[in-house]
Amino acid sequence: MSKILKAVVLTSILFGATSAFAGEKEVTLYKTPECGCCEGYADYLRENGFDVTVKPTHDLAAMSREAGIPDEFHGCHLSMIDGYAVSGHVPIGTVNKLLTERPDIKGVTLPGMPMGSPGMSGTKEGPFEMLEIKKSGGVGGVYASE
């Protein structure tokens, strides 16, 4: 088999596995009932192959604290994805990195509601820095920048 043909076959196998991997991922997204941008983020995840269940709650701050996220680092909503907490409008590249690398952390957070982030309107003014949520609670360093 030629090198080019082998590369095409390998790429097809890897692409198919990646698509199936993403399609099997289920997300539970917790949000305040009034928040519309959270629905935009849920749609963004769906467009990227995730099966998303949205659950409105008035206990989002308490849930975020329980996930180990200090108040000043809470995102707009809290998603649970394959055992990880994903807080805020985290770009899909970081979500996929988290699910692929499987680091020994609780999850990641993009604090606040940055303009131009997935699900938000406005113009992105610079790279977003997603912080890791440590297993012991609290926030560690930058996990990813997009």
pLDDT per position as a tens digit, 107-134 = 999 999 999 999 999 999 999 999 999 9
Q: What is the pLDDT of residue 42?
A: 96
User: Tokens for 4?
Assistant: 């080019």
Q: Which amino acid, residue 103?
A: P
CA 73, CA 59: separation in Å to the nearest integer? 16
What residue ranges in the chain does DSSP mark as E strands?
Answer: 26-31, 51-56, 78-81, 84-87, 107-109, 129-133, 139-145
Average pLDDT for the chain: 87
Give the mean pLDDT of 68-93: 96
CA quadruple 78, 26, 108, 128: dihedral sign:
negative
Does 40 score more than 60 pLDDT?
yes
Domains assigned to the chain = 26-145 (3.40.30.10)
User: Tokens for 59?
Assistant: 């206990």
